[in-house]
Structure 1
């Protein structure tokens, strides 16, 4: 069953963000709804049964007035996205080659995951790793 919680993000250059997210992380673009000019009103990207939704940043509607971009708050974040992948090292190299700033190199965690952290070109932080919260725990 797909997750009921879907991260929603805003990018100043949403078309470039869509291309970057597909190149760096392997997302597939499921839907793009154009806005005015070069803006994206709504887009859906999918990966491994999960989804993010995104659109162009702006203050042209009530939703847009509530959001700021990372560079407007000194790069800080109030939330991040965790992206489950099969091979964190491979995805880290893809992201690095696509221009991500790697904040934390791939490393093993105490809970059995291999993870890294990066910033995308517009400063959003992504946590990427092999931890699968949906996988049933096995007794050892």
Structure 2
């Protein structure tokens, strides 16, 4: 099974810019309505993916803020943390080593969605 987070944004273009600048995602596929609104976008990073779209375009139900965990290696954790700090991103939990392994931090995007970034990989931890 593959699980791909899907998040709705009021300003999907701003979210695309934020996710690429702050978390290093690439957005190879962005689909827009005739009036230019992002209807669906697929962002990739490594072998992971997140999808997003604009509120009110294709989905009438909008839930509260999402929480997503991005797994990277230790060096990337440190580098992405520095990028987030330099960009003035709201840091919810400062970078730290975890008792259960890995390092990580947590930030909030401009629309309130929470992103945790860490090197602890529960899928590949023996």
Alignment TM-score, normalising by the size of structure 1: 0.80
Please identify the structure whose Cα radius of gyration is greater: 1
* Alignment match, 2:14: 16
For residues 19-67 of structure 1, what are the alpha-carbon distances to aligned partners after superposition, in whole Å with 9 as ceiling and x for unaligned? 1100101001120000242311100000010000001112x54x2x211
- In the alignment, is the contact (CA less than 8 A) between 1:102 and 1:118 conserved in 2? yes
What are the ranges of 5 or more consecutive residues in structure 1 without an aligned counterpart?
A: 71-76
Q: Matches of 2:37 and 2:92 in 1, distance apart?
A: 29
Q: Which has the higher strand share?
A: 2
What is the CA RMSD across the aligned residues, in angstroms? Answer: 1.7
For residues 75-131 of structure 1, what are the alpha-carbon distances to aligned partners after superposition, in whole Å with 9 as ceiling and x for unaligned? xx4x41000112222111112223320000001111111010110111110111001
Q: Matches of 2:9 and 2:83 in 1, distance apart?
A: 20
Match for 1:5 among 3, 6, 16?
Answer: 3
1:51-90 alignment runs, 5 A limit: 51-58=49-56, 60-61=57-58, 63=59, 65-68=60-63, 70=64, 77=65, 79-86=66-73, 87-90=76-79
Q: 1:105 and 1:5, CA in 2 relative to 1: closer, same or farther beyond 3 A?
A: same
